[in-house]
Structure 1
């Protein structure tokens, strides 16, 4: 396994940790306040190709950029990294806010993408306010496993004092305006107990994507890729094999 690598484009830097060898190449993009370390269990269970787990700018070990990037700018950075370092179409797996980034990578840079997996996608138009999103996150955390809470707390601290601005960048993005332009195979994945990404919204996302389909992971909530990731990994592997 190579050491984590830094990649800078247009004034922002991401950190990538690569394991295994592809194809397929899975690129894992975390949610708000998180980082690549939360994907350790998912990486172990994917196992049939190469995984590239990312820290977006200002998260995990990636340095804070001069300005908090928009979702679109984060997508451009990820695509630039894929073109420069991966050089093959990838399966982009985005969790929570990372699903918004994955969506924009596919819409803006389709040549870099083999397919996308949107896990617990945010933000539902009817809940596009900070109080509603925070309330859903708090309700989700209240029933989560202590391991997930511990990992999340560490990553939120590492995300630093600009987390409020990063949260705002997530909220102003309108994924519903991007669905029709995302004409790549897409799997929308949801834990059946996810209160952050309701079932009706996830089904709406899958129906609006030109090549979308919906799957649900029994007995999991919003952090279905973090805690006991085996069921999610199985569905992701099946999706990738069909591409």
Structure 2
């Protein structure tokens, strides 16, 4: 299959909340009982900064990315949504796609909160949980600290292309909805909730990430009984800069074989 083909796009709506699913069939639906990948974005952004990883993972199995209500080009809800609300939306979307088991949820930033909560809500659906750049460190549970960390990351650790995607998505999201959901993100007790996840957990971070600092990521991994993998030279949006390496770590974690590179090596 030509991997340059764009993913199939489907709008989904539940309880007046609208989202969008981007689907790339891999080697068929759950080939030989294998996993399905679901990529979940963080606050203010959309599927776009996960697109490289989505494409890389679709070489192994079916890959799905989601634009959640209020983000990307999706309409803004009339009320503030909790992490639990977003997790329920994700589970409903997967059910409509016919995915009822063996899903690998891969969240980034606030998307890690959505992934953790979804895995708690439906343990039978999620076989693995991947947390990339997880938030929020209780030691830095302050809006100004988080804002400063994001600025430092954008200026010192990210590529121009990832900055363009992220900040153009922030513009589309708008300050009103971003700030409304920021409080939700800041208040979510990640350390407590991740300990309740029954599926195996993998923590991924860029070594230069000032948002998901090393100490915090290691504490979180310990709470989850998880392995942690750090990528040198990368910031918060680690999946954009180190796409192939991140994809390979996730494949290995999910029990899938390595994918041959363009020169035929693995």
Per the normalisation by structure 1, the TM-score is 0.94
Find the counterpart in structure 1 of residue 250 from structure 2. 236
Residue 181 of structure 2, aligned match among 166, 180, 194: 166
Question: What secondary structure sits across from 1:78 in the alignment?
Answer: helix
1:4 matched to which residue of 2? 9
Matched residues in 2 for 1:176 and 1:130: separation? 18
Pair 1:226-2:231 in alignment: no
> Do the aligned residues in 2 keep the contact of 1:83 with 1:112 (CA within 8 Å)?
no
Aligned-pair RMSD on alpha carbons? 1.6
The yes-or-no answer on 1:27 pairing with 2:41 is no
- The answer on whether the counterparts of 2:206 and 2:234 sit within 8 Å (CA) in structure 1 is yes
- Per-residue deviation at 1:218? 2.0
**Structure of higher CA gyration radius:** 2
C-alpha separation in 2, matches of 1:226 and 1:118: 15
Residue ranges of structure 1 left out of the alignment (5+ in a row): none
Shift of the alpha carbon at 1:32? 1.3
2:65 is the alignment partner of 1:53? yes
Q: Distance in 1 between matches of 2:224 and 2:251?
A: 20
Q: 1:41 matched to which residue of 2?
A: 52
Classify the secondary structure of the residue corresponding to 1:226.
helix
Q: What SS does structure 2 have at the residue aligned with 1:163?
A: helix
The within-5 A match list for 1:85-234 is: 85-89=97-101, 90-143=103-156, 144-160=158-174, 161-210=176-225, 212-234=226-248
| 2:88 maps to 1:76 | yes
* Greater mean alpha carbon deviation, residues 15-24 or residues 102-111: 15-24
1: CA distance, partners of 2:98 / 2:236: 29
> Secondary structure of the equivalent of 2:18?
strand
Aligned-pair CA distance for 1:16: 0.7
Q: Report the Cα distance in structure 2 between the residues aligned to 1:7 and 1:83, rounded to whole angstroms.
A: 11
> Separation in 2 of the partners of 1:114 and 1:86?
16
CA separation in 1, counterparts of 2:216 and 2:136?
A: 9
Instruction: Work out the CA distance in 2 between the residues paired with 1:121 and 1:184.
Output: 17
Question: Structure 1 CA distance, aligned partners of 2:22 and 2:209?
Answer: 28
Whether the 8 Å contact between 1:33 and 1:156 is mirrored in structure 2 is yes
Deviation at 1:200, TM superposition (A): 1.0
- Shift in Å, 1:30: 0.7
How many angstroms apart in 1 are the aligned matches of 2:239 and 2:77? Answer: 27
Deviation digits for residues 180-212 of structure 1 (CA, Å, limit 9, x no counterpart): 2111111011111111001111111111114x2
- Deviation track 1:22-41 (CA, whole Å, cap 9, x = no partner) reads 43211000111110111121
Partner of 2:74: 62
3-state SS in 2 of match to 1:138? helix
Change (3 A) 1:86 1:206: farther
1:109 to 1:29, Cα distance in 2 relative to 1, 3 A: same
> Which shows bigger deviation, 28-37 or 5-14?
5-14
2:241 and 2:169 map into 1 onto residues whose CA distance is 15
